[in-house]
């Protein structure tokens, strides 16, 4: 058992887990879940104090070495972020005698008296000011440089994000560790009979391309819709387009583009989907369409590899780093390139299968068990520095 020799007690690690929301887990919530459900068992002699911002579900208490504290107010708005991270959370951290504080969502108190470990997923707001609400953008641009400067160590989810941190905020290389995301074990290929059932249920039995993600400008939904129209005009196929995800923000232009489509009747909007349905929808697809303008990691790329589905994605940001040869890479600003990639997949089954085979070769680089072990090493490094 590792103890702090100064006061002869177990180390106590505080964790911001405000995105662990029952029935509402999304990107950062799943990230928090996957990492800390493993770390709690990997580090049984450490006490983890989970800081929630609202009542929580017991499923998120991953072991006997987890303590909990609800800190008000619920932080879902820039003003409430400020109150939570700058006022109430620092007091809670001090009262709980925390030795190291961890934040997996990119936010943290600006002033801390203990070492800290911060995950940065992306700096999209630095590149696309108009893609998020103005007040949110102001908060991000003011506080994220402060957070990254004051964090003891930063985990970046891709080399692309690490490069952004170095270029935008001049964070030294030795302060950043790149730890890739993993993929839930629930994502796997589905058998042909299941594919047929999924297609009958959602697309009248017809093949389809799929997009997965929240709807906002950075995801290039407009480009996907326009490219699908061109694809259907050029190729007299029966393909449909399935879009899975919630409407996030700045979606009026997406709706306008959709209404102007020639083939809008061939577009299926699913909304948010749980993991089981998501696996079925992805596994039944002809290919994943993911021509985003910028991503920190792009988890659907890895999910597609595990579902053994071909990928069409962007040749910018982290997408080539993650997808490699498992994808057709396109310029996300070129509607024609996206449409041509769709045509290639639709007309050349060998090309699609070749992408699947490449995905099988590289997908094992992305698994949560490995990620959690690397996190464990980072935490021990911080704990070693504070041992007396």
**CATH code at position 216:** 3.40.50.2000
- CA dihedral 306→307→311→317, nearest 10 degrees, is -40
Q: Are 101 and 152 in contact (CB under 8 A)?
A: no
Structural domain count, the chain: 2
**Which pLDDT does position 248 carry in this prediction?**
67
3-state secondary structure of 300: helix
Residue 187 lies in a domain: no
174 and 296 belong to one structural domain? no
Q: Encode burial over 199-221: b for 16+ CB neighbours within 10 A, e otherwise.
A: beebbeeebbbbbbbbbbbbbbb
- In sequence order, the 6+-apart residues with CB closer than 8 A to the CB of 130 are 217, 250
79 and 166 belong to one structural domain? yes
291 and 327 belong to one structural domain? yes
204 and 173 belong to one structural domain? no
- Give the end-to-end CA distance of the chain in Å, rounded to a whole number: 15
Predicted confidence (pLDDT) per residue in 244-279, tens digit: 988 766 678 888 999 999 999 999 999 888 889 999
Helices (runs of H) and strands (runs of E) counted in the chain: 15, 15
Q: Say how far apart CA 316 and CA 319 lie, in whole Å.
A: 6
72 and 197 belong to one structural domain? no
Distance (Å) of CA 32 to CA 28, 105, 185, 326: 6, 8, 16, 27
151 and 229 belong to one structural domain? no
109 and 19 belong to one structural domain? yes
Q: Say how far apart CA 346 and CA 352 lie, in whole Å.
A: 8
**Which pLDDT does position 9 carry in this prediction?**
61
3-state secondary structure of 312: strand
Residue with tokens 């409430």: 80
52 and 105 belong to one structural domain? yes
- CA dihedral 155→156→159→161, nearest 10 degrees, is -150
Phi, psi of 256, deg, nearest 5? -65, -45
174 and 239 belong to one structural domain? no
Q: DSSP of 109-133, one letter per residue? A: -SS-SS-EEEEE---HHHH-GGGS-
Predicted confidence (pLDDT) per residue in 324-346, tens digit: 999 999 999 999 999 999 999 99
Phi, psi of 57, deg, nearest 5? -95, 145
> Beta partners for 215?
247
Q: Say how far apart CA 60 and CA 25 lie, in whole Å.
A: 11
H or E stretch at 48: strand 47-52
Which residues form the domain of 225?
192-364
84 and 133 belong to one structural domain? yes
- pLDDT, tens digit only, all 388 positions of the chain: 444 444 446 899 999 999 999 988 888 999 999 999 999 999 999 999 999 999 999 999 999 999 999 999 999 899 999 999 999 999 999 999 999 999 999 999 988 999 999 999 999 999 988 888 899 999 999 999 999 999 999 999 999 999 999 999 999 999 999 999 999 999 999 999 999 999 999 999 999 999 999 888 889 999 999 999 999 999 888 999 999 988 766 678 888 999 999 999 999 999 888 889 999 999 999 999 999 999 999 999 999 999 999 999 999 999 999 999 999 999 999 999 999 999 999 999 999 999 999 999 999 999 999 999 999 999 999 999 886 5
């Amino acid at each position: 058992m590792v103890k702090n020799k100064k006061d002869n007690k177990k180390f106590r690690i505080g964790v911001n887990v405000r995105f662990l929301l029952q029935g509402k887990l999304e990107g950062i919530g799943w990230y928090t879940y996957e990492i800390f459900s493993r770390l709690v068992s990997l580090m049984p002699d450490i006490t983890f104090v989970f800081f929630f911002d609202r009542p929580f579900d017991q499923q998120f208490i991953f072991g006997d070495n987890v303590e909990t504290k609800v800190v008000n107010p619920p932080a879902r708005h820039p003003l409430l972020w400020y109150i939570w991270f700058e006022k109430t959370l620092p007091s809670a951290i001090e009262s709980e005698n925390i030795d190291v504080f961890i934040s997996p969502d990119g936010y943290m108190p600006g002033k801390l008296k203990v070492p800290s470990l911060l995950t940065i997923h992306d700096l999209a707001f630095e590149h696309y000011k108009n893609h998020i609400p103005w007040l949110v953008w102001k908060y991000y641009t003011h506080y994220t440089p402060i957070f990254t400067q004051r964090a003891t160590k930063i985990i970046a989810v891709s080399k692309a994000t690490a490069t952004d941190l170095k270029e935008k905020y001049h964070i030294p290389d030795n302060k950043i560790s790149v730890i890739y995301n993993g993929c839930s074990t629930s994502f796997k290929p589905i058998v042909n009979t299941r594919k047929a059932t999924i297609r009958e249920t959602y697309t009248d039995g017809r093949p389809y391309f799929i997009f997965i993600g929240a709807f906002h400008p950075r995801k290039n939904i407009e480009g996907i819709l326009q490219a699908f129209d061109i694809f259907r005009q050029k190729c007299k196929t029966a393909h449909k387009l399935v879009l899975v995800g919630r409407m996030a923000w700045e979606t009026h232009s997406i709706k306008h583009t959709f209404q102007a489509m020639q083939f809008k009747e061939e577009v299926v909007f699913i909304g948010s989907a749980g993991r089981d349905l998501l696996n079925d929808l992805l596994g039944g697809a002809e290919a994943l369409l993911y021509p985003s303008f910028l991503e920190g990691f792009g988890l659907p790329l890895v999910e597609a590899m595990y579902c053994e589905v071909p990928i069409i994605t962007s040749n910018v940001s982290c997408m080539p780093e993650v997808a490699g040869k498992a994808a057709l890479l396109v310029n996300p600003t070129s509607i024609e390139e996206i449409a041509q990639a769709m045509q290639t997949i639709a007309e050349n089954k060998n090309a699609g299968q070749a992408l699947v085979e490449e995905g099988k070769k590289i997908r094992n680089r992305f698994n949560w068990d490995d990620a959690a072990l690397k996190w464990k090493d980072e935490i021990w490094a911080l704990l070693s520095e504070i041992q007396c």
